[in-house]
Amino acid sequence: MLAERRRGMILDLLAEKGSVSVSELHRRLDVSRETIRRDIGRLAAENRLRRTHGGALSLESHEPVFAERMGVNLAGKRAIGRRAAALVPDGASVIIDSGTTIQCFAEALAARRGLTVYTNDLRVAALLVRRPDNRVLILGGQLQGAEGATMGRDTTDMLERYFADFAFVGAGALSSHPWLMDFTREAAALRGRMLELARAPVVLADHTKFARRAPVRVPNLDQAAYLVTDRLPDGRMAEALASLPAELMVAD
Read off the pLDDT of residues 87-139 as tens digits, 9 standing for 90 and up: 999 999 999 999 999 999 999 999 999 999 999 999 999 999 999 999 999 99
**Which residues are registered as beta bridge partners of 180?**
174, 218
User: Picking from 37-51, 132-146, 153-167, 218-232, which range would have the lowest pLDDT averaged per residue?
Assistant: 37-51
Taking all residues of the chain, what is their mean pLDDT, rounded to a whole number? 92
Please give the Cα distance from 23 to 53 (Å, whole number).
Answer: 12
Of 108, 109, 118, 116, the closest CA to residue 133 belongs to 116
User: Picking from 15-19, 29-33, 185-189, 197-201, which range would have the lowest pLDDT averaged per residue?
Assistant: 15-19
In words, the CATH class of domain 66-250 is alpha beta
Contacts of 157 (CB under 8 A, 6+ apart): none
Could you tell me which residue, 181 or 52, shows the higher pLDDT?
A: 181
Rounded to two decimals, the pTM is: 0.77
- 3-class DSSP state for residue 121? strand
- Could you tell me which CATH number the domain at 3-61 has? 1.10.10.10
Q: Kindly report, residue by residue over 234-251, the tens digit of the pLDDT.
A: 999 999 999 999 999 999
The amino acid that residue 240 corresponds to is: A
Q: Where are the domains of the chain?
A: 3-61, 66-250
Contacts of 52 (CB under 8 A, 6+ apart): 19
Contacts of 118 (CB under 8 A, 6+ apart): 93, 94, 95, 96, 137, 139, 159, 162, 164
Contacts of 104 (CB under 8 A, 6+ apart): 74, 77, 78, 80, 81
Contact call for residues 43 and 10 (beta carbons, < 8 A):
yes
Task: Report pLDDT for 211.
Answer: 86
